[in-house]
Amino acid sequence: MMCMGTSSHVGKSILATALCRIFYRQGKRVVPFKAQNMALNSYVTRDGGEMGRAQVAQAEAAGLEPMVDMNPVLLKPTGNSCSQVVIMGKPVGNMSAREYHNGYSLKAFEAVKEALLRLEKEYDIIVIEGAGSPAEVNLKANDIVNMRVAKHLNAPVLLIADIDRGGALASLVGTLELLDEDERALVKGLIINKFRGDVSLLTPAIDFLEEKTGKPVLGIIPHIEKMGIDDEDSVSLQEKAFAREKADIQIAVIQTPKISNFTDFDALSNEADVSLYYVKETSEFGEPDIVILPGSKNTVEDMRYLAESGLKALIKQHSNHGKAVIGICGGYQMLGREIRDPYHSESESNGTEGLALLDIITVFAQDKLTNQVKADCNNLCFMGQKINARGLAGYEIHMGKTEFLGKNDSHPFIIKERSRQLCQAVEGTVCADGTVFGTYIHGIFDNDEFRRQVINSVRIRKGLLALPNTRNVLAEKQRNYERLADIVEQHLDMVKLKTIMGENDL
């Protein structure tokens, strides 16, 4: 079964996630799949392969360990119409949009077919997600993620439109009109997503759609508030909070142009005593208690953006006042004295100055390090408190190698395991006065006790009482998948879907 959309961000990945959980609850061996992702939010599998986060969420909903067969091609934009191309979890180089679409994409489709063949042998159902719109006529000849996949598998297609944006009927009719006849025949049903209000008022529109297109409307899915499911790409940042809400702890995440893995901060944003907001320019900075510099796909250019926008000066001023600054991956590198890129791994320049809040220098290598990790945090002296946490889970995605220069700085993280290999690697840096720290570990705030200790350190510095941890992020995710599946199953015609899929026992 394939979920396609009339455009980007209509809810394809969320509905695919819901279907994965629905079929999983029915006892089916179900697996998610997306041939090609273009996103800066990525994840590292247990074997060290890199893949898009949407299929990670779908795998979790299906009760599976994420693996690169679920997303064999990943494009990570680096700037100037150029992307790093990742095939089966490993980077194969940087390519311009023209180079990729006109020369390489059909070669990449061979990896797509091989991954599908392996999945077909192991699973009862493959829930496939498309990308953007299947009706982009300028991209169609070399497209490997939409109708080429559907035709390769002869998979029935659900076409999804977002009514919250307006123009959903026109989008559905127009998309079908632009498809070739054999492609149109594969579309077996229509779904209207993110509906608000009285569904009975939509009856005339549904009747029109079914008469005009000859396709059944399988469901009208309501707008779901606070789903708590990882977002696929930076488009969803538009829906995240930019206004500062009233809370004990204010956290500003700096939204650089090439921000990556912003899902690192979702667990923080869901704390009751935290207001987390994103900052693109100086007027949005406010008076945060913590500033976080996130990961970046182009650290050198994003560092220059901080300098040119005036955010660099504000961050340094914030730090000079004794307030907390945290950097994750590329943000950790920006906290140092200097970032060097001698091989032009990420940018066309040789490097740039950093914020000089940590006494480190980072030099980019030619090879990318991608690992799932397990680590301990030993005596992280942060904001006057000592943080200790064992068995932290996360992952690394970086090309930079960081050199420790500060005699008075400490390095509180010990990586005990990388991609299932035991090790004893010193990682991360905290400055001598304990107000600034950085780490390469993505997902570190998903660790409940560590996250709460970081927040409590700032609470105590502000004269507030420390709060106990009351959350389990992993359990919350599972509850969110259940809630999503309940809502979608209630509003989707499962009898018609069963008929479309040709399965009598769904």
Report, as residue numbers or ranges, the catalytic residues: 329, 442
* Contact call for residues 405 and 361 (beta carbons, < 8 A): yes
Of residues 336, 326, 329, the one with CA closest to residue 298: 329
Extended strands (E) in 419-497: 421-427, 429-430, 436-439
Helices 53-61 and 473-491, packing angle to 10 deg = 80
**Element (H or E) spanning 315, and its range?**
helix 311-320
Strands 274-279 and 249-254: parallel
Strand partners, 291: 252, 325
Burial of 90 (0-12, 13-18, 19+ CB in 10 A): middle
Burial of 134 (0-12, 13-18, 19+ CB in 10 A): buried
Order the strands of the 82-87 sheet from edge to edge: 36-38, 73-79, 82-87, 90-96
User: Which residues contact residue 366 at a Cβ distance below 8 angstroms, ignoring those fewer than 6 apart?
Assistant: 343, 345, 399
* Contact call for residues 357 and 335 (beta carbons, < 8 A): yes
CA atoms of 219 and 488, how far apart (whole Å):
8
CA atoms of 275 and 77, how far apart (whole Å):
29
Query: Per this entry, what is the length of the chain?
Result: 506
